[in-house]
Structure 1
Amino acid sequence: MREALIVWGGWHGHEPEQCASIVAGMLQEEGFKVHLEPSTEAFASPRLHTMSLIVPIFTMSKIEKDEAANLSQAVREGTGLAGYHGGMGDAFREAVEYQFMCGGQWVAHPGNIIDYRVTITRPDDPVMQDIRDFDYRSEQYYMHVDPSNEVLATTTFSGEHAFWIEGVVMPVVWKRRHGHGRVFYSSLGHVAKEFEVPEMRTILRRGMVWAARA
């Protein structure tokens, strides 16, 4: 049986405990044995190297150098990494090794909670199968992203809340490699209620399964 580790904590506004429980249920439905840990100390454990998948849900906060190094090494060796929104994309702002692995870092969400459009750029990818462009209400993430990412979906900024970024096309969902490991990220999913949006939930679920080591 494949095993997944969810490490949750950090800023309470993203409801990490509730979301970790939802993600755990999704992975269990996919046949994973799931472990949940509420501390970054879990990233220093040798067992990371035996996991099929690691899911960080830890907005902001800090990660120790040995924790980040062990996590990065585990992924480089083949453990999968997958996550969403600030739980992965706005975690550990001072840890550039972590950001290099994830392929991006949140820097702004102009207008805070707004309506925006998600455009599917790779409808042929299994993660996006049968998902069409859709409207979404949440924080529209503006991110610094790695050009090597394989982008599966984007969003375009209107400029209403920051006129100088009008027309900017920003990745929303991507895949990448970090060494031998697969990495998946979706910027959708501010709070637990957003898991009720079928597209958000399906994209994350499929992305986690894709990233997981067989």
Structure 2
Amino acid sequence: MSKQAIIVRGGWEGHQPEAATEMFLPHLERHGYAWEIHDSPAVYADADRMATADLVVQCVTMSTIERDQVLGLRAAIEAGTGFAGWHGGIADSYRASDDYLHLMGAQFAHHPGKHPDERQGEQSDNYIPHRIEMLPAAADHPITAGIDSFDLVTEQYWVLTDGLLDVLATTTLPARPWDPWHQPHTCPAVWTRRWGAGRIFACTPGHRVEVLENPNVRTIIERGMLWASR
């Protein structure tokens, strides 16, 4: 019997939820998953369907979620369903849901932009050079083994977190002359989290398809989905 994956996508279109998730469907197929796609979190409230899911891949930025839906998601993960995603699709979803924020233990807060004089009112205003630093724990973890620290030019996520993440990689946001904060700040960039019998995986790089095509980012996400799965 094939494994079962549920893909939930939607929210802000700037993160290309359709194109981004389509990138990873062949990977899931190669590893024996049958998948179905949903354009809202309504499926989370279907306890019978969620009980059969080995993995949920979510790519929904902002948007809203009903209480029965988020409680259904939490219950499924607690029972062993894996939960995986990248960038705003998992770390900036359902901002108004305290139940979702508690589940994730992490929430996007900011992505510093270029110097104000260089901004043109485009997404690229927030594309800045930065480094994804692999931690010692990453060296022999199945998600990150063999991947060294690497550089990107894209959004650099400032993430608010609790203390229960297992962090594999970080990124340090500088304090530049025009920034209102006064010292560099280091945030998780790749992490896992345990919730009951379930596993959660999140990767903050992945703003658009061109970032997901970076070999390091793509490999981390592909491995992360498999790691999280039941």
**TM-score for both structures, normalised by structure 2:** 0.89
Match of residue 128, structure 2, among 114, 127, 132: 114
Gaps of 5+ in 1: none
Q: How does 1:24-173 map to 2 (within 5 A)?
A: 24-46=25-47, 47-111=49-113, 112-121=126-135, 122-160=138-176, 162-164=179-181, 166-173=183-190
Q: CA deviation at 1:166?
A: 3.0
Could you say what secondary structure the match of 2:5 adopts?
strand
Matched, 1:210 2:227: yes
Number of equivalent positions: 213
Distance 1:211 1:115, change over 3 A: same
Q: Deviations over 1:140-165 (max 9, x none)?
A: 00011121111000011111263515
Q: Which one-letter code corresponds to 1:186 in the other structure?
A: C
Q: Which one-letter code corresponds to 1:24 in the other structure?
A: L
Question: Which residue of 1 is the match for residue 10 of structure 2?
Answer: 9
- Determine which structure has more spread, i.e. the larger CA radius of gyration: 2
Distance 1:86 1:165, change over 3 A: farther
- Misfit runs of 4+, over 2 Å: 160-163
Q: Are the equivalent residues in 2 in contact too, given 1:158–1:167 (CA < 8 A)?
A: yes
CA distance in 1: counterparts of 2:46 and 2:127, whole angstroms: 37
Q: Deviations over 1:56-92 (max 9, x none)?
A: 1110000000100101100011101011100010000
RMSD in angstroms over aligned alpha carbons?
A: 1.2
Q: CA deviation at 1:50?
A: 1.2
Identity of aligned residues (%): 39
Distance 1:200 1:9, change over 3 A: same
Q: Are the equivalent residues in 2 in contact too, given 1:158–1:165 (CA < 8 A)?
A: no
CA distance in 1: counterparts of 2:162 and 2:221, whole angstroms: 20
Q: Are the equivalent residues in 1 in contact too, given 2:205–2:212 (CA < 8 A)?
A: no
CA distance in 1: counterparts of 2:193 and 2:152, whole angstroms: 24
Could you say what secondary structure the match of 2:107 adopts?
strand
Question: Which residue of 2 is the match for residue 22 of structure 1?
Answer: 23
Q: Deviations over 1:169-210 (max 9, x none)?
A: 111010110111011110010011212100000001111100
Distance 1:165 1:191, change over 3 A: farther
Distance 1:165 1:107, change over 3 A: farther
CA distance in 1: counterparts of 2:147 and 2:45, whole angstroms: 37
